[in-house]
Chain A
Amino acid sequence: MNIRRHRAILLAYLGMIILLLLTSVVAPGFLSATHLRSTAVLAAFIGIVALGQTFVIIGGGIDLSVPWVLNSAAVLMTLLANSQDAPLLWIVPMLLAAGALVGMINGLGVAIFGVPPIIMTLAVNVILQGGILVYTGGAPTSTAPKAIQFLAVGRIAGFPVVLILWIVLAAFATILLSKTAFGRHLYAVGTSATVAEFSGVPTLRTTVLAYTLSGFTAALAGMLLTGYTAQAYLGMGDPYLFTSIAAVAIGGASILGGTGHYIGTIAGALVLTILTGLLPALNLSSGALLIVYGVVILVTVSLASEALSSLFAALPRFGRQRGPAA
């Protein structure tokens, strides 16, 4: 493995380990199997939303429509399924497709019409929010079907089902990014759309596909979350906007596109989850919590960054470059 290429990703994992060590000092109970498991489960939800977000960001865009794609899927699923398992057989695929379709619309707006991604996805988010309220009359929905609850919180031989799902998705995303033409194209488009175009990369298709994937994973996460809380509620997607982007950023991707990997995002999701889990144990006021949150992010990321830099200094091939990179 070429360490330098993956510096940012290593950095995220190093940060995660530093954080875990910190946690174990503050509250030893955190390293219990039970809690690690529940942390991983929570990270899975962020991780799944952030999967699509990773693709979009690598491609040089951003998806702000995640909250209401997620929320819409959750609300519609519980509404249509009415607590029954059987209808899930058509509801789940249909809603996944619907999520993908919304993503595709985002992608088309961005790629064909050149609408700035921030505006495109923001508008779609607002429209979806209104749309779902109009459609359901804002009605609270039924409890989540048992099968969905099983997916979200159930275990197979002690291992959480949602983690299995996450691992499968992570493998899929990793292959897609590292091993397919689509992945190559995505990085190229995110690095320079002009060069990609000159190189015969199907820029339009690539961009649209990334957004489509994001719509898909947001819808999936929405349905899974319904299983976690046993019901859908309005506003359940809101926390996932910044967390999904932050997970990608902590995972080493530049918000300007072209770099990053889902493997990093996984660490990002874990960092965020461990941190939000750790904070209550500190018994601080809300204000102090926010300060600690900020400081911890800054310190872990830069500690990891320093540690890595000295590692590089020790390695012959990878010196630091002076001045801004070309």
Chain B
Amino acid sequence: MSVADPMSPLKMTVATSSPSELAHRPSRAAIWKSALLDRASLIIPCVMLIGLLLVYASLRDGVFTLDELNLDTAAAMTLILAATGQTIVLLRGGIDLSIGGMISLGTVLAATRFGTDPAQAAAWAFGIVAIGGLVGALNGILITALRLQPFLVTLATWSILSGTAMIILPTDGGSLPSGWTMFGVSTKLGLSSSVWLLAVLLVFWIWFKRTRLGIAIRATGSNERSAFLSGVSPIGINIATYGLSGIFAALAALYLTTQTGAGSPTIGKDYILPSVAAAVIGGISLFGGRGGLVGTIIGAFILTIIGNLVFVLEVSSYWQPIVSGIILLVAVLASSIAEKSARRSLS
């Protein structure tokens, strides 16, 4: 009988020394390439945005000014906030349709409850954010406990939240303190408060993505089983993820009211698909685990700039959707092809 011959020949040669490298050392170029490739999902939307901005700047004066930055940031900010929550959920490998209902509910509550007393307004602003968090946490609990798809659960809560908003305020209306609507307009150091808000958001992200929770969310989206085996609690991660998404939806609602000065029980649905689109353009995979907020923000700006671009191109009205669709497609196509060929050249 010849069962496995032990590894005797090796013993004296290796047992006392460290094993050699597993792979022969890759060339410096290969390391660079793979580093680039690891970041391709961010680099490519950046290049896309820069390309669009260059075209835009060639058609309109003053594109690279603070004014333009202030305007575009205000235009993109609600979407950015909504997409921040969506980004977190997508990184987890889920999806949150309920942000549509939460945004509506948030604007409606703000427009009907703020009154004129700043203290009351502030209290309700916090209240709305808390409601967002609770509603999101509830999503997380339902998804885990009922073992239902996030798509279905958040579809249902979307409807419930929209209905609640509609009961509170049946159609667009209400009012906000006049100081509130000045939020986006006021500037410091030439930058509008929207830009500052964006900066705060970035700081938050830089912090958040390096927290244990931030890592755990990405990890769970990347491989749920591994995350569980490593000690991530399935229900805890869902509560945190969807809770954050609800909080950001509430923040988006509050920001939106500074732009519209009113509440709307239907406005939230405008942000569901675009929030996913912004994230996907920014390099986030629906299958979870990959991407980050910076990509999403760039994605939101790309969507906004495309609108500006179509405006300055002065295409006749019927052609506008076609042109914006084509710009989007060409931009994404270019990046997809670039990424694909980069991947091929490496693998």
Contact = CB atoms under 8 A, between A and B. Distances in A.
A126 B225 contact: no
A320 to B, nearest CB: 9
Most B Cβ at <10 Å: residue of A126, A138, A325: A126
Interface in A108-143: 109, 113-116, 118-120, 122-127, 129-131, 133-134, 137-138
Interface residues of B, number: 54
A119 B148 contact: no
Given A119-B280, A287-B163, A294 B336 contact: no
Name which of A137, A285, A286, A292 has the most chain B CB atoms within 10 A of its CB.
A286
B149 A255 contact: yes
Contacts of A311: none
B170 A286 contact: yes
A1 interface: no
A129 B321 contact: yes
Contact of A302 (B146, B151, B165, B340): B146
Contacts of A116: 280-281, 286, 332, 336
Interface in A76-133: 109, 113-116, 118-120, 122-127, 129-131, 133
B152 interface: yes
A66 to B, nearest CB: 13
Contact of A290 (B163, B276, B322): B163
A119 B170 contact: no
Interface string B130-155: 00000000000010001111011101
Interface in A190-247: 242, 245-246
Q: Is the interface of B mostly helix, strand, loop or mixed?
A: helix
Contact of B326 (A115, A122, A123, A125): A123
B329 A287 contact: no
Contact of A113 (B153, B165, B336): B336
Nearest to B316: A134
B163 A305 contact: no
A297 B159 contact: yes
Nearest to B160: A294
Contacts of A249: 149, 151-152, 155
A295 interface: yes
Interface string B279-295: 01100001100000000
B142 A290 contact: no
A225 B117 CA distance: 53
Given A256-B286, A291-B164, A301-B148, A123 B325 contact: yes
B153 A298 contact: yes
A254 interface: yes
Interface string B235-260: 00000000000000000000000000
Interface string B305-347: 0000000000000111111111011001100110110000000
Interface in A264-318: 285-295, 297-298, 301-302, 305
A119 B328 contact: yes
A324 interface: yes
Contacts of B281: 116, 119
B286 A115 contact: no
Main secondary structure of the interface of A (DSSP, over half): helix
B277 interface: yes
A114 B167 contact: no
B322 A115 contact: no
Contacts of A156: none
Given A119-B277, A301-B152, A325 B325 contact: no
A127 B156 contact: no
Nearest to B155: A246
B149 A130 contact: no
Contacts of B166: 285-287, 290
B272 to A, nearest CB: 9
Contacts of B276: 118
Contacts of A302: 142, 146, 148
Contact of B167 (A246, A288, A293, A301): A288
Contacts of A109: 329, 333
Contact of A115 (B163, B165, B329): B329
Contacts of B155: 242, 246, 249, 294, 297
Contacts of A131: 322
B296 to A, nearest CB: 13
B340 A287 contact: no
Nearest to B330: A123
A119 B265 CA distance: 27
B224 A118 contact: no
Given A249-B155, A291-B159, A118 B225 contact: no
B264 to A, nearest CB: 13
A254 B318 contact: no
A326 interface: yes
A285 to B, nearest CB: 7
18 contacts: A114-B337, A115-B333, A116-B280, A119-B332, A122-B277, A123-B326, A127-B322, A127-B329, A130-B322, A246-B152, A255-B286, A295-B156, A297-B159, A298-B156, A301-B148, A323-B234, A324-B224, A324-B234
The 7 closest A-B pairs by CB, nearest first: A290-B163, A287-B166, A294-B159, A130-B322, A291-B163, A287-B167, A294-B160
Given A256-B93, A287-B163, A294-B158, 15 more contacts: A116-B336, A119-B280, A119-B332, A123-B325, A126-B324, A126-B325, A126-B328, A127-B321, A134-B319, A286-B170, A290-B160, A292-B163, A295-B156, A305-B146, A323-B228
